[in-house]
Every structure is written in structure tokens, then in C-alpha cells.
Amino acid sequence: MAAVAALPVSLSGRFKGSFAYFTIKDRLPQILTRVIDTLHRHKNEFFEEHGEKGVEAEKRAISFLSKLRNELQTDKPVTPLEDELPDAALWNQYLDYQRNLSNGSGEPSWFQSPWLFVECYMYRRIHAALAQNPPIDNFDVFKEGKAQNFFESQEAVITLCTHFQELLKNIKDLDEKQLQEEFFKLLQVSLWGNKCDLSFSAGEDSSQKSGPLQSLENMIPYILVNDMEKLWSILVNAKKRNTEKSNVRVDIILDNAGFELLSDLVLADFLLSSKLADEVHFHGKSIPWYVSDTTKHDFNWTIKQLQSANHMWMSRCGINWEGNLKKGVWVYHDHMFWTLPHDFSSMAEVAPDLYADLQKSNLLLFKGDLNYRKLTGDRKWEYSVPFHQALNKFHPAPLCSLRTLKSDTQVGLKPGQGEQIQASEPEWMLYL
């Protein structure tokens, strides 16, 4: 009977000086303050649209959020959700689980509980502050920042759409080696697109300013674990095995809207146009999440923006992509599980329908840091622990994480590699 290796502790604000501590102490309150400011700034809009009821709802939401910020900053207990939203029971079960974990050493609280739990909980409380206050219950407090990221990345959007449409012109003449090279380029554009994220910049501008393709070469040394060759062989072998009836399916578990989403859509179109895949499934968030994360509205809004752009290649992309959705070769999902606090090792138990759906895929691409943290349980792993071990039995299908490091957890490094980076760049895991 192989002994089950004990899991390391969860990252938490109880570790002073950790990125978790810094995030909970400084950055989450900043994000809450920005949300409150956003609501203040939309007061007139709420009045115009909804009259006095809109203004009263705005006031109630602001008091919800100010109370939440105070609870956070004074390390109050994490309280059960009292809203009627469909996931409230799952959240409160998880809170009970956390209470039992702390086995009597006090109530779950912001600085004592696992970072992943309290950070997700904050975003769920932000959602409740709006959802419980009609008629502004459908207002996305992060919408402006996500739209701004898209507009301010316009140069990079044009460059990428143009590059891709040029590539499409002769994609049929490319041999396997050339196709692999293009795949690797677009994978890296999607990887580095993950740097554009507003929750990590606490809402500061994080749009893509530099050309997305020109800097790939000199970014190679910053790729700590590079499995691109393995990804290629998974796809090529799936293609070879592919019989008439079964499609090759790739799933992209999305992260941030804006430029990062654009880079994911281009990658998805490449997978179809190169015939490496027959269908691509996208997984977004069912509520506004971590400031930048993609909702169904953001997904559709981005495609509409491209279609109506006065740039030929942008509109061509937008038209093709709406066509893919209509034909069903692109499918958009937003399962509730992605905005629960659970790490992915509990998906099979908590969301068996989602787990079963992911098992139909030939390759799962998880974008971003939060997904990486949930894949590996947001724990203080040794750097050289194999990624497979850190997944802790989460294996619905072959999977890969395309993540820029934004939190102090990292696995899958070669022996000594983490220590070597630490020696040369002591703050490689901290953004102080």
C-alpha cells in the first residue's frame, strides 16, 4: 500500500511576509476600494436608468462592501453567505469544512484561513453585494477595467489579428515543422497574454503595450517549465488516432478578458484552421471574478467589438469566430464550479458533471495563475515536486497550465532550479 504523501500546508495570510499576507493586507482592500469608487462613479447612471431605486441600491451595495472591507482589514471571522444564489449552500458547506479543519483553533478568518479560500470568498461577497441589490444586480463592477484593457491593447490586437490572418492565407502549404513553429508562437503569445491581469495590478493599467510577437525570442529564458513539445505530440497523436466518428477536442479554461482572451481566441482558431482540432470548448466564469476574469458577456462583447472594428483583419476574426460558435465547433461553457473556492482535486466529487465533460477532451489548457493555484492546491510545495503529484489525482484528461507566476507557489522545477533563481532574483515570486 503506497503511503499517501502528506500534502504541504496551504498558502495563507498567517505567514507574515508571504505574498498571501501582502495580498490580503494591502491588495484586496485596494481592490474593494476601487469597486466602491466604481459604484460611486455610476450613481448618475443608476439614477437615469432606475430612478431613486437605483440610487438606494447603489448605497446599499456600497455599505455591504465597506462592511466587507472592514471585516477583512480587522481579520474578522468569515461569515456564512446569506444570499439565495444557487452556489450559497456549496460555499457554506466549504466554510464548515474549513471550520472543522481548524479543529477548534478558532473561526475561519481572513488572515488565518487558506489564502485561496478567503480571496475567492471576497469576490463571491462582492458579487452578492450587487446581486442582492436590484435593480443594479446585473451590474459588473469590473466591466470598465476589462473593456479598458481591450481598448488600450488595440495595437497588440491589430498586430495579432493581422499576423494570424496572414498565416491563414498559406496555412495549407505549411509542413508539420512549420505548423509546429506557428503553434509554439501562438502558445507563447497566449502564455504571456496572461501578464495582462487587473487583479494582480489591483486594477492599475495592465494592457498589452509591447508587440505580442516580437518579444517571444527573448522571453524564452523566462519559461521555467517548457512542455510545448509534449503538447504538440499529444495533438499530433490525437489527430492520427482520430477516427471519423470521434472529434479531436481541446478545452481552454479561460482566464482574463481583454488582450489575453484575444490571444486565446486566436490560438483556438489556429487549432481549428490547422485541423489539429475539430472542436474547441471554452470555460469562462459565471460571475464577475478576480477583476479581469472572462464572463459570457465579456466573451461575446469581445467578438462583437472585433466584428465592428474598422480594421479588416480584426473584423474578419470576429466574423469567423461568431461563425465557429454558430456551427458548434466552438462551444462556450461557464460552470459554477470555476467560481467556487475548491481546488481542482475535489472537482470529481463536487462537480462530477464538469469532470465528466472534461474527460471527453484530448487536451485541457488552463490559463493563468489562479487556475495554477487551484490545480496544485495552493500549497507550499517544494519547487521540484512533479506537477503530476501536485495535481493530487486531478486527471480528467491530458492537461497543461499556461501561467505567468503571480503567487509564491511553484512545482515541476528541476532539482536546484528554484534555488538558483532565488539566488539570482530573490523577489522572483513576490510583487512588492
User: Given the rule CB under 5 A, which residues bind Mg ion?
Assistant: 197, 255-256, 290, 292-293
The SS3 call for residue 411 is: coil
Strand spans (E) along 212-343: 249-253, 279-283, 330-333
Residue number closest to ligand F6P, CB atom: 368
* Cis preceding linkage at 135, omega within 30: yes
- Gap between the Cα atoms of 289 and 254, Å rounded: 12
Q: How many CA atoms lie within 13 A of 227 on its CB side?
A: 15
Minimum distance from residue 426 beta carbon to ligand F6P (Å):
19
Q: Answer with the entry of ligand F6P, Mg ion, none that 42 interacts with (C-beta below 5 to 8 A by kind).
A: none
- Gap between the Cα atoms of 29 and 416, Å rounded: 36
Kind and range of the H or E run holding 367: strand 363-367
Which of 256, 392 has the CB closer to ligand F6P? 256
Kind and range of the H or E run holding 364: strand 363-367
Minimum distance from residue 427 beta carbon to ligand F6P (Å):
15
Q: Answer with the entry of ligand F6P, Mg ion, none that 14 interacts with (C-beta below 5 to 8 A by kind).
A: none
Minimum distance from residue 260 beta carbon to ligand F6P (Å):
8
Minimum distance from residue 229 beta carbon to ligand F6P (Å):
24
Which of 290, 313 has the CB closer to Mg ion? 290
Q: Answer with the entry of Mg ion, ligand F6P, none that 369 interacts with (C-beta below 5 to 8 A by kind).
A: ligand F6P
Q: Answer with the entry of ligand F6P, Mg ion, none that 12 interacts with (C-beta below 5 to 8 A by kind).
A: none
Q: Answer with the entry of Mg ion, ligand F6P, none that 113 interacts with (C-beta below 5 to 8 A by kind).
A: none
Which of 23, 180 has the CB closer to ligand F6P? 23
Which of 108, 193 has the CB closer to Mg ion? 193
Q: Answer with the entry of ligand F6P, Mg ion, none that 342 interacts with (C-beta below 5 to 8 A by kind).
A: none
Supply angle C-alpha 113, 119, 124, rounded to 5: 115
The SS3 call for residue 329 is: coil
Minimum distance from residue 372 beta carbon to ligand F6P (Å):
8
Q: Which residues bind ligand F6P (CB under 6 A)?
A: 23, 27, 119, 194, 197, 199-200, 255-256, 290, 292, 368-370, 373, 406-407
Minimum distance from residue 198 beta carbon to ligand F6P (Å):
8
Strand spans (E) along 23-114: none
DSSP class of 285 = B
Which residue carries 460555499 as its cell? 91
Minimum distance from residue 282 beta carbon to ligand F6P (Å):
16
**Residues 164 and 374: beta-carbon distance below 8 Å:** no
Q: Answer with the entry of Mg ion, ligand F6P, none that 119 interacts with (C-beta below 5 to 8 A by kind).
A: ligand F6P
DSSP class of 251 = E
| Dihedral (Cα; 42, 47, 52, 53), 10-degree rounding | -60
